[in-house]
Amino acid sequence: MSADLAGKTAFVTGAARGIGRACAVEFAAAGADLMLVDITRNLPGVPYPLGSQSQLDYTAELCREHGATVVTQAVDVREFTEIRAAVQVAHERFGRLDVLLNNAGIAAPSGKVAHDIAESEWRLMLDVDLSGAWRTIATVGRIMVTQRSGSIVNVASTAGLVGYRHFAGYVAAKHGLVGLTKAVALDYAPNGVRVNALCPGSVRDSSEYEGRMLAEIARSLGVGVDEHESVFVQAQPTNKLVEPGEVAAAARWLASDDARGVTGAVVTVDGGFTAR
């Protein structure tokens, strides 16, 4: 792998496992130093375990194997004070912030028709998946604008491009994140800061990265754990699930200077799902 992030510092949310871990390791292998954050505790209303401190520590360990300097901190993206504290730690430690990967997100509470969604469930989904990204952008973006350089990559979803039955909150949040990406890209373009959205499709729950997003989506739809991957494969034009490393490679490119002419874009890594 080329060292196309050498000398850069990346701030990664939702880094404890899954796509966040895959991207963090990819960035480290490409030469970046990292500030890795995750909530490290469970949330009332989210019906599955979230990333833990031990998982976040393990992500950091994997990154250090590539020679990266890594700092970790527990952050709930619903809380501006926690985001600001972590950004301050990162900026003081590294002197600059070159990449922001907004990956923190939840897939549930979901699995209901729109009129059965409780207001608390709706608020929770948007607060984490959409407002959380805005809070991080509002904090890191200020530093990048001052630097007059930086790359922000927002991990959205194919749910940011098409609708999914029984996932109104998630779809609304991810569509909002795509819209936020485009608006902020225009805000920041005069200052040399790029902002792009990355839309993964059905990503395999790799044991290496401890991902479980696909399984939780399947659970919300009432699909058995033992058959969920085969169900999603049937919808893939490539007849296979997307690998976490494929998403991470796209994130690395968007973060790097090789993508210097790309801003306000929506990049899909979905095996052709949204081409139909």
Q: What are the residue numbers of the active site? A: 170
By the 10 Å C-beta count (0-12 exposed, 13-18 middle, 19+ buried), 215 is classed as middle
Hey, what amino acid is at 184? V
Q: Which of 45, 172, 163, 162 is closest to 109 using CA atoms?
A: 45
Q: Which of 101, 124, 146, 150 is closest to 50 using CA atoms?
A: 124
Q: Which of 180, 263, 264, 248 is closest to 23 using CA atoms?
A: 248
174 vs 233: CA distance, rounded Å: 22
**Strand ordering across the sheet containing 70-74:** 70-74, 33-38, 9-13, 99-102, 150-155, 193-200, 266-269
221 vs 206: CA distance, rounded Å: 20
3-state secondary structure at position 89: helix
